[in-house]
Structures are given as C-alpha cells and as structure tokens.
Amino acid sequence: MDVAEERRFREFVSARSPALIRLGYLLTGGDQHAAEDLLQTVLAKTAARWGRIDDPEPYVRRAMYRQQVSWWRLASRRRETTVADMPDMAGRDDTHTADLKLVLRHALARLTSRQRAVLVLRYFEDLPEAEVALIMGCSVGTVRSTTHRSLARLRVVAPELADLRTPHETFEEVTS
C-alpha cells in the first residue's frame, strides 16, 4: 500500500469506525468487545486489499457480516474459558437493561414510522438534524418538531423511560 492509499485508509477508518462499531455491536448481539474484535479483524483484512476496493463502506459492512457468520459457525468460539481463581465479584445483573430494552422496543412500536425513524436517526445513529432532514426529505424544522412530539409520545407510552435524563442516555443504556 503506497502513502496515498494508506492515508485514504486511515481517513476511512477514522471517519467510519463509530458507525461500524455500532453495526458490529448489533451483529454480535450487544457484546462491545466482540464488536471491536470483529471490526479490527475485518479492517485488517480490508487493509490488505485496500487498493482493489472501489467502495469501501459496503465492502467492510458485508465483510463484517460474513466474518460474524463464520465465527458463529466455529464451535471453538463457544468454549468456556477456564480461570485459575473464581472472581471476587458476582456477575453483572442485566435484568434492568433487558427490561429497559423491552420497554423501549414496545414504546417505539407504538410510534409512527416517521417518529421512529427520526428518533433512531437522531439518537441511535447520532446524526445531526440537518443530515436527518436530508435523509428524510424534509426541513430541519420538521425534524425538530417531529423529535419533540416523538419524545413527548414516548414519555406517555413508556413512563419508565422518564428516569433517564436524555434520549442519548436511553439509547446508550439500551445498546451498551
């Protein structure tokens, strides 16, 4: 890989890593460390072929999916890990997070498709209002008002979510 290609690869990785980590997180069933491993594995393979890739985004996304499927198929990835000593602390209780995920899923299902799309694009994909407006083909004001109405509707249909301070915290807790 020459210097210009290496610079282009680094810029791609820097710009797209947050979105690709989110994809990896979803592909790995919510395991942040596995998502990071998945992305790192795929980026290492992508770097070796970088000069022959025309459109890197779909290539990397497809490679992440295929790599995860091959990991699922490997029985060795499912073995238990033995340790010399038992941990001092009990495992994490994820009951609250699981309940929160169910509440959020049911609450989002009760919104209109437009309201759901605005909330997912704004808070899950973390896109700015202008980009959401461009994607949805509407004005920034429409995105703002739809976001406001959607959050108000969520507070009505899922008062359990009111304990969280911001929509970002809600999506972060559910996706982390």
User: pLDDT for 123-168, tens place per residue?
Assistant: 877 889 998 898 888 999 999 999 999 999 988 888 877 766 555 5
pLDDT at 98: 76
What is the total count of domains within the chain?
Answer: 2
Which structural domain range is residue 107 located in? 95-175
Residues 61 and 113 in one domain: no
Instruction: Give the C-alpha distances (Å, rounded to integers) separating 7 from 51, 55, 94.
Output: 12, 16, 41
> Residue 138 phi/psi, 5° resolution?
-140, 180
Same domain, 100 and 63: no
Q: Give yes or no for a contact between 143 and 132, defined as CB atoms under 8 angstroms apart.
A: yes
* Residue after which a domain boundary falls, among 30, 53, 78: 78
This prediction's pTM: 0.45
26 is a domain residue:
yes
Euclidean distance between CA atoms 33 and 24, whole angstroms: 10
Do 74 and 113 fall into the same domain? no
In a domain, 62, yes or no: yes
Residue at which a domain ends, from 52, 78, 104: 78
Q: Assess whether 119 and 157 both reside in one domain.
A: yes
- Residue that is written with structure tokens 């909330």 in the block: 119
How many Å apart are CA 2 and CA 118, to the nearest integer?
41
